[in-house]
């Protein structure tokens, strides 16, 4: 598990960097595009937007196809490691000046995931 976590972290950081380059920027505006165009593609997640401006992107994920899949397989803990644990290192790779605060996830059994991005 330690090896998997290290590899997943490294890949997530690299993914953040690659997407910042692909989207020609690493601001909250580009992050919002990534959330809507990539993360929510094909209805993989459903989001409820809370706040979006040049300094903050705050939303709740109210449906997650990944969480549903891992729940059906009975391996939510593994789902958290493979999917949810990527969010923080992804943010670091995308823009180290953007912080993510998330206190709960659907994968862990919460009613929603609370994503709160803020550019410092």
* Residue 87, domain CATH: 3.30.1380
CA distance 69 to 7: 22
Q: Which residues pair with 119 in a beta bridge?
A: 98
92 — pLDDT class (breaks 50, 70, 90): very high
The distance between the two most distant Cα atoms of the chain, rounded to a whole number of Å, is 39
Mean pLDDT value of segment 29-52: 96
Compute how many other C-beta atoms are within 10 angstroms of the C-beta atom of residue 69. Answer: 13
- Check residue 21 and give its pLDDT: 98
CA distance 34 to 22: 10
Question: Is residue 1's pLDDT more than 90?
Answer: no
Range of the domain at 77: 2-119
When divided into structural domains, the chain yields a total of: 1
User: Mean pLDDT across the chain, nearest whole number?
Assistant: 96
CA distance 105 to 114: 7
Question: Is residue 55's pLDDT more than 90?
Answer: yes
């Amino acid at each position: 598990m330690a090896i998997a976590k290290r590899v997943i972290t490294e890949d997530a950081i690299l993914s953040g960097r690659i997407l910042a380059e692909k989207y020609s920027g690493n601001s909250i505006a580009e992050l919002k595009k990534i959330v809507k165009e990539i993360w929510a593609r094909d209805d993989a997640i459903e989001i409820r937007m809370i706040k979006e401006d040049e300094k903050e992107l705050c939303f709740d994920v109210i449906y997650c196809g990944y969480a549903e899949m891992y729940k059906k397989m009975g391996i939510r803990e593994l789902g958290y490691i493979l999917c949810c644990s990527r969010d923080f290192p992804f943010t670091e790779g995308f823009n180290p000046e953007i912080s993510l605060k998330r206190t709960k996830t659907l994968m862990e059994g919460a009613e929603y995931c609370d994503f709160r991005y803020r550019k410092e």
